[in-house]
Amino acid sequence: MNRIVQLANFYGPATGGLKTVVEELARHYTAAGVERVLIAPGSADSQKTTANGTQIFVRAPVVPASGGYRMIGGTSDLFALLDRVHPDAVEVSDKLTLVAATRWARRRDIPCTLLSHERIDAILRGRVPGFAPLGRLADVWNARLARSFDTVICPSRFAWDEFGRIGATNALVVPWGVDLDTFSPGARQDGPVHQRAEIELVCVGRLSKEKQPEVAVDVTAELRRRGVDVHLTMVGAGPKRAPLERRARDVPVTFTGHVHERREVARLLARADLTLAPCGAEAFGLAVLESLACGTAVVTSDSGAASEICDPHCGIAVPADAGSMADAVTTLLGRDREALRLHARTRAERFPWARSAEAVLAAHRGRRRGAVCA
Span 125-162, pLDDT tens digits:
766 666 677 788 899 999 999 999 999 999 999 999 99
3-state secondary structure of 234: strand
Confidence at residue 207, expressed as pLDDT on a 0 to 100 scale: 93
Contact 149, 102 (CB under 8 A): yes
Rounded distance, CA 117 to CA 282, Å? 9
- Using alpha carbons, list the distances in angstroms from residue 317 to 79, 241, 243, 306: 44, 25, 26, 8
Distances, alpha carbon 239 to alpha carbons 131, 203, 211, in Å: 26, 16, 11
* Banded pLDDT at 1 (limits 50, 70, 90): confident
Of 210 and 322, the one with more pLDDT: 322
Q: What is the mean pLDDT of the chain?
A: 92
The reported pLDDT for the residue numbered 193 is 64
Q: What are the structural domains of the chain?
A: 3-177+353-365 (3.40.50.2000), 185-348 (3.40.50.2000)
pLDDT 10s digits, 169-192: 999 999 999 999 999 999 988 766
Position 69 scores a pLDDT of 82
Positive/negative CA dihedral, 185, 187, 191, 193: negative
pTM for the complete prediction? 0.93
Residues 90-110 have a mean pLDDT of 95
- Tell me what pLDDT residue 196 has: 82
Using CA atoms, how far apart are residues 364 and 90, in angstroms rounded to an integer?
A: 8
Where are any strands of DSSP class E within 9-134? 35-42, 46-50, 53-59, 89-93, 112-115
Which residue did the predictor score with more confidence, 260 or 215? 215
Give the pLDDT confidence score for residue 373 in this predicted structure. Answer: 37
**CA pair distance 163, 142, nearest whole angstrom:** 7
Q: What is the pLDDT of residues 114-131, one digit of tens each?
A: 999 999 888 777 666 666
Confidence of residue 66 (pLDDT cuts 50, 70, 90): low
Mean pLDDT computed over 285-309: 96
Q: What's the average model confidence in pLDDT over 91-109?
A: 95
Query: What's the pLDDT at 369?
Result: 46
| pLDDT score of 362 more than 70 | yes
